[in-house]
Structure 1
């Protein structure tokens, strides 16, 4: 067995555990892990095999979650269900799986929230690394994981979702109207807007730091359409039925604390973007 295979086999149990928690299906998890192995086998010069595989498996899971058209029955072995006797062999199998109750809660999360929560809270992946998986800033990922944590704890995020929607709608209305004072009133003093590499290549500054800079960037902007992304209010530039740029807002205590500008087509393809009740990609 060569070193690459040995490295992969050493990571397989952890990767499978991540995939089971994200997908709630052992069969899908095994398929994802196998696909990760195939990609590794044809990818030269991977510096950090464990981190690379974690990213690939997480993104494959994210794609699977996005593609689901309906809530499917969980493929959880009978031994995972409460009250079912567990023999030693079954217990070993279940060591890398998760209880049915948690899976049901995870299903209520958006794909991005689920990935952020599983990676950070269940597998202690640093926020900076999760940000690389999702193509968002560490601050945005921190909020995604926090939403997942509250849902798992039995909290209701609908109030937060409503507040988020109201703040973002007011901000976009102020931007279209050129109301600089209103824009500033909706931004935290230390608000920051960050662009990904694709956005920077389009001519956007990498960072707009502080409320003044962020407000000036949006003042008078009319082309960013209100949308929902993964069920939360956001904005997007849409051209010829295709989302070119997404603006993701982080809101805390009624104020916008951060904006992520995402223009990477691969990352955009993993977002559930809806404009005026229709898929944004179908909008003119």
Structure 2
């Protein structure tokens, strides 16, 4: 893709970045960085899709830095971040007035999933690729963001489901640390699957582990994984020197683990909220 071809893509990329970040200036920086990365990378199979992925992940990284900076600078909630007036007006047209304040309070991945799906109408399967997450995870992120934007309080059933997921994941990790395969199998749905991203595959993981037995056999070797909260959900993380190297996102339903995402891509991890338990 040459410069003229990139200019054709620029308006679309700027629109995405502006709405995710809420700032035209920040969006312009992100899109320019995406162009520089493409120039350094050379030939890619699908430049528009590649650029969308890079822009989305750069936005996530920018949102995480913004949140970290805000938490560092003040111990009390700050005023909403200033938003470019034109960008704010465009966003308000699509998702309603005053929503920017709520968007600023969302986790980066929640915000991206919501904007890309509910504002732009992109399919969840495409968003999953751009965020480096599974379709299940992206649907959860968008749903949680949607509830927050609408001002819907977390109902008792949702709190109970979250607590149940934490209990199941903690029990699963304890069984893995103890090498208790029967206990692992008891916590896995028969059709459970574990997906590894390309970075995880380079570390020796298979792309997919299909079925409870395959997942238990593989995860029995992941004894260094410790409980963590990942984008607000129960999960696990492997850390080295305080840095998260691998995140395991669990999807639990009816008391059983249905899906595990093994995420090792540094760019994807940078856009996730991974908080070690304790």
- TM category (shorter chain) comes to 0.7 to 0.9
> Conserved in 1, the CA contact under 8 Å of 2:191 and 2:210?
yes
* Alignment of 1:252 onto 2:253: yes
Q: Where does residue 195 of structure 1 map in the other structure?
A: 196
Bigger shift: residues 54-63 or 208-217 = 208-217
Larger displacement relative to structure 2 (203-212 or 171-180): 171-180
Residue 96 to residue 12, structure 1, CA distance change in 2 (3 Å): farther
CA distance in 2: counterparts of 1:238 and 1:79, whole angstroms: 42
Q: CA deviation at 1:248?
A: 1.2
Task: Give the superposition deviation at 1:164.
Answer: 2.8
72-81 or 253-262, larger mean C-alpha shift: 72-81
Give the structure, 1 or 2, with the largest relative contact order (CA under 8 Å, sep 6 or more): 2
User: Judging changes above 3 Å, is the alpha-carbon distance between structure 1 residues 98 and 37 closer, same or farther for their aligned structure 2 residues?
Assistant: farther
Q: For 1:109 and 1:164, how far apart are their aligned partners in 2?
A: 21
Deviations 1:81-107 (A, max 9, x none): 8xxxxxxxxx7x679876553222323
CA contact (8 A) 1:192 1:208 kept: yes
Q: Distance in 2 between matches of 1:44 and 1:194?
A: 29
When residues 21 and 80 of structure 1 are mapped into structure 2, their CA distance, relative to the original with a 3 A threshold, is closer
Query: Which position in structure 2 is the counterpart of 1:53?
Result: 51
The alpha carbon displacement at 1:209 in A equals 1.0
Contact preservation (8 Å) 1:184, 1:215: yes
The separation in 1 between residues aligned to 2:51 and 2:221, in whole angstroms, is 43
What is the rounded CA distance, in whole Å, between the counterparts of 2:262 and 2:91 in structure 1?
40
Q: Distance in 2 between matches of 1:14 and 1:60?
A: 15
Q: Is the 8 A contact 1:17 1:96 kept in 2?
A: no
TM-score by length of structure 2 reads 0.79
SS in 1 for 2:238: strand
Find the counterpart in structure 2 of residue 141 from structure 1: 138
Aligned residues: 265
Larger radius of gyration: 1
**Structure 1 residue 41: Cα displacement:** 4.5
Partner of 1:280: none
User: Is 1:126 the counterpart of 2:123 in the alignment?
Assistant: yes
Give the structure 1 partner of residue 21 of structure 2.
23
Which stretches of structure 1, 4 residues or longer, exceed 6 Å deviation after superposition? 93-97
Mark the runs of 5 or more structure 2 residues left unpaired by the alignment: 71-77
Q: Which has the higher helix share?
A: 2
Distance 1:35 1:79, change over 3 A: closer
TM-superposed deviation, 1:58: 0.8
Report how far residue 115 of structure 1 moved: 1.6
> Could you say what secondary structure the match of 2:191 adopts?
strand
Q: Secondary structure at the match of 2:98?
A: helix
Aligned-pair distance for 1:171? 1.9
Q: 1:161 to 1:21 in 2, by over 3 A?
A: farther
Q: For residues 1-284 of structure 1, what are the structure 2 equivalents within 5 Å?
A: 4-68=2-66, 69-70=69-70, 73-77=80-84, 99-157=96-154, 159=159, 160-219=161-220, 222-277=223-278
Give the structure-1-normalised TM-score. 0.78
Aligned CA-pair RMSD: 3.1
Structure 1 regions of 5+ residues with no counterpart?
82-90, 278-284
Distance 1:113 1:78, change over 3 A: closer
CA-CA distance at 1:64 after TM superposition: 0.4
